[in-house]
């Protein structure tokens, strides 16, 4: 039975929007997340991040170490309804040391909102995140935050974003001044003016419809000088950009831009209203077998994240599964492709930040939390019987390498188990040195080692320390000539290792060594990222 366009679950698919908010640390991502939850009625109090009204902290920061540091290190999922749409918002770690987690979360969403701080503009991490979006042509909406602070000139800022991120922008709202003179935003799309008031509530009262910018009401509301500026800017922007071409946005070629101040909940609603109107519904996805259409009747989905011990009282792990096609049902057996076994889930969860609700079913675009006793690794695929893997879930070469040293031989077993589970979660990568037992952990940043050390002790009772190793990059090796590959690994024993799946890896001491080996070994391919399931 092949239902072409008339999809069996069309109504459910069409009302879903699954996206992530990405930004450089401190650009205001957590604040924006909270304001979106406020509009969706998912939380009642604004300023929950700053006040004690909600369990001390934003609903999306889980672990103790995050609470101590005030940073998000674990991606969590929040689901809320707004205007009849079911919105799945995946929060991403803001801290650069956890970029790997963010890269993978980006494989599970259909679009992103990129938050840029109007004061600092484009920062290094923003560029890397955008490269990952590029790999998949993910549609992007840009929110320029902190307009109530003195920041860069708005035209300069747009130019910087376009140049640095190689992204064509399309302003949808336009700010009237910034910093202490910030007066509001004009919505170029629906021709209305919203006056700025420093407030954290979600309210409508200061929106004025202005169909003609020459209307004297504009001068009365914002003063003649600013009105003249706005008329000039609006004419220039309309002249350059015209109407937004939604197809270009969906193809990842053009990014609509909104200006506002998340902490004051200002300019957020304009963005949210446009988002639900234009953002893509769940999309079809590539697998090792064929393209899986979002409208296929058979269920399929993949695990993009594993999080341990969301509840400190229970030693559980939760695997986050993105539904790609069909309908996921509670208590139904599904095929775990890598393990080739059937598994069922009696308590699948949907997420409303910390509160979890057991669900009966889920549809494409949804993210489901599955209790995991160690069956899952990042990138695992579940299907209704077919054998295929979802492709394009990358692992990148780490940048810092340290040897794991056991400080308590009595706890060797706990240490092994802890390291195995933490690296299954994708917190870091584990390499085992060839011919030996030396365990090497590779991370993107130093903070991850702290988290691992802390969690090994707290959750597994294993005391460990790290010794820094002089490696520069890890490269996955492939070759059509198995003998040449084996010889290479034998000669380079000190620099050879295996990843968790037994794939050979070369650990280069420096760029010079790496280039030399690449030149000297033309029959061996050196890869800087590996698709997880290979």
> pLDDT of 332-345, one tens digit each?
999 999 999 998 88
Three-state secondary structure readout of 295-328: CCCCCEEEEEEEEECCCCCCCCEEEEEEEEECCE
Enter the DSSP assignment of 338. T
Whole-angstrom distance, CA of residue 133 vs CA of residue 14: 22
Residue 408: pLDDT above 80? yes
> Who contacts 49 (Cβ-Cβ below 8 Å, separation ≥6)?
30, 31, 34, 57, 58
% of the chain at pLDDT higher than 90: 15
Higher pLDDT, 304 or 43: 304
Residue 246: pLDDT above 50? yes
Q: Mean pLDDT lowest for which of 115-129, 202-216, 258-272?
A: 202-216
* Model pLDDT, residue 50: 40
Split at pLDDT 50, 70, 90, the class of 47 is very low
> Who contacts 320 (Cβ-Cβ below 8 Å, separation ≥6)?
75, 77, 108, 303, 304, 305, 306, 307, 367, 368, 369, 370
What domains are defined for the chain?
19-74+93-278 (3.40.50.300), 285-383 (3.40.50.300), 397-531 (3.30.70.3280)
Whole-angstrom distance, CA of residue 502 vs CA of residue 127: 32
pLDDT tens-digit series, residues 145-161: 888 788 788 888 889 99
Residue written as tokens 């004051």? 264
* Model pLDDT, residue 201: 52
Split at pLDDT 50, 70, 90, the class of 95 is low
Residue 66: pLDDT above 80? no
Q: What are the start-end ranges of the E strands in 62-102? A: 77-82, 85-91
* Model pLDDT, residue 58: 47
Residue 316: pLDDT above 50? yes
Higher pLDDT, 422 or 277: 277
Split at pLDDT 50, 70, 90, the class of 52 is very low
pLDDT tens-digit series, residues 97-155: 556 677 788 888 999 999 988 888 888 778 878 877 887 889 999 998 888 788 788 88
CB count in 10 Å sphere of residue 168: 13
* Model pLDDT, residue 5: 46
* Model pLDDT, residue 356: 56
Average pLDDT over residues 376-391: 86
Average pLDDT over residues 280-299: 87
Residue 228: pLDDT above 50? yes
Q: Mean pLDDT lowest for which of 184-198, 329-343, 357-371?
A: 184-198
Sheet holding 207-209, edge to edge: 173-176, 184-187, 192-195, 207-209
* Model pLDDT, residue 446: 79
Handedness of CA 494, 499, 505, 509 (dihedral sign): negative
Split at pLDDT 50, 70, 90, the class of 254 is very high
Split at pLDDT 50, 70, 90, the class of 352 is low
Q: Report the predicted TM-score, pTM, of the whole model to 2 decimal places.
A: 0.78
Q: Kindly report the average pLDDT of the chain as a whole number.
A: 79
* Model pLDDT, residue 146: 86
Pairing of β 111-117 and β 140-145 = parallel
Whole-angstrom distance, CA of residue 431 vs CA of residue 473: 12
């Amino acid at each position: 039975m092949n239902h072409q366009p008339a999809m069996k679950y069309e109504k459910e698919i069409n009302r879903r929007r699954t996206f992530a908010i990405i930004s450089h640390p401190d650009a205001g991502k957590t604040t924006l997340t909270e304001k979106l939850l406020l509009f969706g009625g998912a939380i009642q109090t604004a300023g929950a991040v700053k006040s004690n009204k909600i369990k001390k902290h934003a609903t999306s920061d889980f672990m103790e170490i995050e609470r101590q540091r005030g940073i998000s290190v674990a991606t969590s999922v929040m689901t809320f309804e707004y205007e009849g749409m079911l919105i799945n918002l995946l929060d991403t770690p803001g801290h650069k040391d956890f970029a790997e987690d963010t890269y993978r979360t980006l494989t599970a969403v259909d679009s992103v909102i990129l938050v840029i701080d109007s004061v600092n503009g484009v920062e290094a991490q923003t560029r890397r995140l955008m490269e990952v979006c590029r790999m998949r042509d993910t549609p992007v909406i840009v929110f320029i935050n902190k307009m109530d602070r003195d920041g860069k000139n708005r035209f300069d800022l747009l130019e910087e974003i376009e140049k640095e991120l190689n992204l064509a922008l399309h302003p949808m709202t336009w700010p009237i001044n910034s910093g202490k003179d910030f007066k509001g935003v004009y919505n170029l799309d629906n021709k209305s003016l919203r006056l700025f008031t420093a407030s954290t509530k979600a309210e409508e009262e200061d929106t004025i419809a202005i169909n003609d910018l020459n209307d004297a009401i504009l001068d009365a509301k914002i003063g003649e000088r600013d009105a003249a500026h706005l008329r000039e800017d609006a004419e220039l922007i309309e002249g350059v950009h015209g109407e937004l071409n939604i197809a270009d946005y969906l193809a990842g070629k053009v990014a609509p831009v909104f200006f506002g101040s998340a902490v004051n909940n200002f300019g957020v609603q304009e963005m949210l209203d446009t988002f639900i109107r234009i953002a893509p519904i769940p999309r079809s996805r590539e697998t090792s077998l064929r393209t899986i259409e979002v409208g296929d009747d058979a269920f399929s989905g993949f695990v993009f994240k594993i999080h341990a011990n969301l509840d400190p009282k229970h030693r559980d792990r939760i695997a986050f599964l993105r539904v790609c096609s069909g309908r996921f049902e509670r208590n139904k057996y599904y095929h775990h492709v890598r393990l080739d076994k059937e598994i069922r889930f009696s308590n699948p969860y949907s997420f409303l930040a910390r509160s979890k609700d057991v669900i009966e079913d889920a549809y494409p675009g949804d993210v489901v939390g599955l209790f995991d006793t160690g069956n899952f690794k990042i990138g695992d695929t579940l299907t209704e019987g077919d054998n295929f893997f979802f492709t394009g879930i990358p692992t990148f070469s780490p940048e810092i390498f340290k040897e794991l040293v056991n400080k308590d031989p009595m706890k060797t077993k706990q240490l092994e188990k802890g390291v195995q589970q933490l690296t299954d979660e994708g917190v870091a990568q584990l390499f085992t040195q060839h011919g030996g037992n030396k365990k090497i952990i590779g991370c993107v940043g130093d903070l991850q080692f702290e988290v691992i050390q802390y969690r090994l002790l707290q959750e597994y009772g294993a005391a460990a320390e790290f010794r820094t190793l002089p490696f520069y990059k890890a490269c996955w090796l492939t070759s059509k000539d198995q003998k040449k590959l084996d010889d290479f690994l034998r000669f380079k024993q000190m620099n050879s290792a295996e990843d968790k799946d037994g794939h050979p890896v070369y650990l280069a001491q420096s760029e010079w060594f790496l280039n030399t080996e690449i030149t000297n070994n033309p029959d061996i391919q050196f890869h800087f990222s590996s698709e997880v399931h290979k």
